[in-house]
Structure 1
Amino acid sequence: MKKLLLTVLLGLCTLSAGLSQVTIAPTNLFVEDNSRFGTYMVINNSNENQEISVDFVFSYSALNDDGQRRIVEDDSISAEKHSIAENVRAFPQNFVLNPGQRQIVRLRIAAPNDLEDGTYWARIKTSATPEAPPVEIEQTETVTASLGLIVEQITGLYYKVGTVNTGIAINEITPRLSDDGVLEVFTDFERTGNSPFLGSVITSLINSQGNVIQQARNSTTLYFSGTHKQDLLIGDTPPGEYTLRVEFITQRNDVSDDDIVQMQPVSSTTKYTLR
């Protein structure tokens, strides 16, 4: 009897490596122009064979005027200036990992020799699909489907050329108290230098005695200028005169200081009256 071949694929894209049974390390990769080579590891923690594929794309996160972050993938002008996605090759690019197996992926960057000093970047897109045989179904049988899950994990790839530097210039700090007692702090900044800012932003509420009453810190990557938003929970804070301080530092818990393009800490303050 004639048979039909049915393969059903359910795609799921996620930026969080923690949601996948296939993990990658590190989550950010830095390559110098004097070596042009880098490596990262793919580990299969599942109990199934996994088909792995590696691709490269250009994208970046941007902040709008309200401090909301979005992923930009269709900026051809920025890609022409900053992308190395077309210059990276992975070895191997496609492979299968057995349960518990790991594979080192080697990257080679064949970038032009006349690049200006600065940090260029791409995204490493590592896709994992459980390996499963096709489902064969008799014509007279009820059609059922076996769903395969594709998980895409995104790794940052940064390529440093020549002398690299970064900087932040704070233009304005604007506080706004929401109806639910959250102090929203908007910091308008300009990113200077020839490299993205990788680091942390620390926002502090300081009383008249110089004591920090509330503080929030988050790790971030700032590719271009924008407005950074950070929330402070001040529901139990007594009314009075306060100082808001916003500080940008090139330190992150998930990235080595040796990999981050360093700058001197930058901070600015503004007065805030809590009524």
Structure 2
Amino acid sequence: MKKKFRIPIGVNSQQSLWGFFIILLLLTAPVSQVVAGVIVAPSVVVLDDKSKTGRMNLQNPSNSPKEVSISFSYGIPESDSLGNVNIFLRDTGITDPHSALGWVKAFPRKLIIPANGSQVVRFIAHPPKDLQDGEYWVRVVVESQEGITSIPVATDEEQITTQLNMIMRTAVMLKYRTGELVASVKLKDTQVIVNENDVDVFVDLANTGNVSYIGLLECQLLDADKKVISKNHIQLALYKDLLRRITLPFAEGNFKKPYSVAVSVTNKGRKDIPTSEMVFGNDLSTSISLVE
């Protein structure tokens, strides 16, 4: 079942209005993430079959205590037909054999971090026997609750106090690795749509390895002399099949037609991830001519 985060609003018997705000931060995380004033590091936790343990540091830089809870869900990047990427957290009905949900534990799971304090959360994996080589995934959901803020709202007939109870969530990826690890990506299809002012490049990729393919996708709009008209790149986190879209604008200049688009995929050059945590694999490149 997919988790859907919404804002339920209701009025209780004391005529108080409660709003619950939930923010889910999932894609393109920096080295540390700030969750309701709590700094979470690292943004990806990696365990292996040697130690089966790992840790995460939670830091509270504010002047008030923070109540934090740790839970687990499953969720990987999924794309729609337009190349938009979302992550849906699921607790049940998971059929992916690469799910680690249910056999990774956290200690502690509920904690109060004092003002300007920190706390280490430890993880331990209890993988099933005869686990095949590869990488297994689960999301560590870190939830931090803010204090309640009262905002008086005056009306002609009554006084209603609005109270905001802010709950912030982030879902950090935890990866468990065992055996021989293979990072491999395959280009399924590439399509280009020419618009009035830009070009949309759709790149359909398949993960053919047994680990997540973490890398970069770059597209360049070139003229007949291979001069770069424009270029763009995005970070790539490929767990299964994924369709990504990159938009390349037409730039003014002395460019010769016909134009073409050069597409390249690599998992080298990611400076935001320690080299020790990377599993390096193959690179891809292709070129598409634009039809006038």
TM-score (norm 1): 0.85
CA distance, structure 2, for counterparts of residue 115 and residue 234 of structure 1? 50
CA distance, structure 2, for counterparts of residue 130 and residue 228 of structure 1? 36
Instruction: Flag the 1:99–1:262 CA change in 2: closer, same or farther, 3 A.
Output: same
Instruction: Flag the 1:107–1:10 CA change in 2: closer, same or farther, 3 A.
Output: same
Match of 2:168 among 151, 157, 161: 151
DSSP-derived class of the 2:180 partner: coil
Query: Is the 1:173–1:269 Cα contact (8 Å) retained in structure 2?
Result: no
Query: Is the 1:168–1:192 Cα contact (8 Å) retained in structure 2?
Result: yes
1:55 alignment partner in structure 2? 71
- Report percent identity of matched pairs: 23
Gaps of 5+ in 1: 134-140
CA distance, structure 2, for counterparts of residue 125 and residue 85 of structure 1? 12
2:145 alignment partner in structure 1? 129
DSSP-derived class of the 2:97 partner: helix
1:136 alignment partner in structure 2? none
Are 2:80 and 1:70 equivalent residues in the alignment?
no
Give the superposition deviation at 1:253.
2.8
Give the superposition deviation at 1:66.
2.2
How many residues are matched? 264
Measured against aligned partners, the alpha-carbon deviations of 1:68-119 in whole angstroms (never above 9, x if no partner) come to 2122445967544111121111111111011211111111111113111111
2:218 alignment partner in structure 1? 202
Are 2:288 and 1:270 equivalent residues in the alignment?
yes
1:83-102 correspondence runs (5 A):
83-102=99-118
Give the superposition deviation at 1:150.
0.9
Instruction: Flag the 1:161–1:175 CA change in 2: closer, same or farther, 3 A.
Output: same
Question: CA RMSD of the aligned region, Å?
Answer: 2.7
2:23 alignment partner in structure 1? 13
Give the superposition deviation at 1:130.
2.8
DSSP-derived class of the 2:105 partner: strand
Match of 2:47 among 28, 31, 36: 31
Query: Is the 2:261–2:289 Cα contact (8 Å) retained in structure 1?
Result: yes
1:169-208 correspondence runs (5 A):
169-179=186-196, 181-208=197-224
DSSP-derived class of the 1:258 partner: helix
Counterpart residue type for residue 112 of structure 1: P
Give the superposition deviation at 1:10.
2.0
* Structure 1 stretches of at least 4 aligned residues deviating more than 3 Å after TM superposition: 6-9, 16-20, 72-80, 141-146
Counterpart residue type for residue 22 of structure 2: L
Which segment is superposed worse, 235-244 or 54-63? 235-244
TM-score (norm 2): 0.81
